[in-house]
Amino acid sequence: MRRPKIRELKEVIKSLFGRAYTSDFPRKPHTPYERFRGRPYFHEEDCLGCTACAQVCPAKAIEVSDQVAAGAIKRKLTVHWDICIFCGQCEASCPTLKGIMLSREFDLATTEKRQDLKQVIEKEFVICEYCGEPILPYDQYVWVAKRLGALTFTNASLLLFYLRSAGLALKERFLAGNKQAALNRSTRLKILCPRCRREAVIKS
């Protein structure tokens, strides 16, 4: 065994009486850098429910399911932090750039169940007033109408949706199994899915 050099002995003595090179975590909280990619969070007021984040997630950490409850159709979005690889693709692909954002939280250790490492939000759907099929989430419909601006008035469904959201038109309640005998010209003045609107335009 080689004898230690004098220089190495000096480094040992200095380290014994000097400051530690490592941080004092977890006794003191550690603040990561500004661009650190940590735990992602949904921001419900800015999320559209469009599922763009789930489509680009390479780890499949974002789960999407559409459910029917109390006569309404809702989309449930779940981000699983135990699967997430913190790549940031979800935040980069979000149309609003605020619907899901990465925080600077990095300490995910827990003594609880692994299934609790998640966040769940729900978005209500706009449904077709003729066939009852879901069209798209309500918040996404509002976002599209705002993005289009004056062009909203070129689409009957968007126009009617805009007027109702502004309180300028009455909302008709869809009743399952109460379809009209046939699609006609008056049916076009309803909020319709693409298939029903196409049929209504052809038949009128």
End-to-end Cα distance, the chain: 96
The rounded mean pLDDT for the chain is: 85
Going along the chain from its start, the domains and CATH numbers come out as 30-125 (3.30.70.3270), 128-204 (no CATH)
Q: Which of 110, 60, 63 has the alpha carbon at shortest distance from 87?
A: 60
Q: Where are the beta strands (DSSP E) in 48-188?
A: 62-69, 72-80, 100-102, 118-127, 134-137
pLDDT band at 169; cut points 50, 70, 90: low
Cβ 192 vs Cβ 179: under 8 Å:
no
Q: What is the pLDDT of residues 80-108, one digit of tens each?
A: 999 999 999 999 999 999 999 999 998 88
Give the residue with greater pLDDT, 69 vs 96: 96
